[in-house]
Homo-oligomer: A and B are copies of this chain.
Amino acid sequence: MEATNNQTVSIFPLGNPGPTEWFSGEVHVQTLVAPEQMEGLYTVGQVTFSPCGRTNWHTHPIGQVLLVTEGKGWYQERGKPAQVLTQGTTVAIPKDVEHWHGASADSNMVHIAISNITDGSSVTWMTPVTDEEYAEVNKNN
């Protein structure tokens, strides 16, 4: 791992910009394992969120694992306080629970995501996390 003064080099390539209909702000996605490489069980990717970058609200039909490798960010389930994500945080997201994840307002955040697939789908996308919802999470931190 090359690193100097907390400037880090990600383990995997940055990848491509995430679709704007699923993400807010600057988000990059790199596929690491495609479904067809692992019998259609799941896909594995690295997601890099720049400060304020975040997913829309969404659910997973059969769950997802997040492994945080860099930075600081948030994981929030609908109606609950946000949980802070830092390097080494692991999140096992239950199926059918509405949530979002992303960077904090003052840091990037990088995670590996293992997205389980059932009936050909790994995610159901919903509405964006509004600026008001996002500011509420960041205001005390």
Residue total for A at the interface (Cβ-Cβ under 8 A)? 31
The smallest C-beta distance from A22 to any residue of chain B, in angstroms, reads 22
Contact partner of A114 (CB less than 8 A), chosen from B70, B88, B114, is B114
Identify the stretch in A37-45, A75-83, A123-131, A132-140 within 8 Å (CB) of chain B at 4 or more residues.
Answer: A37-45
Interface bits A19-62 vs B (CB < 8 Å: 1, else 0): 00000000000001100011101101000000000000000001
Given contacts A11-B87, A39-B95, 7 further A-B contacts (CB under 8 A): A2-B6, A33-B90, A39-B63, A39-B116, A41-B116, A44-B67, A114-B114
Seen from chain A, the residues whose Cβ lies within 8 Å of a Cβ on chain B are: 1-4, 6, 8, 11-13, 32-33, 37-39, 41-42, 44, 62-63, 65, 67, 69-70, 87-88, 90, 92, 95, 112, 114, 116
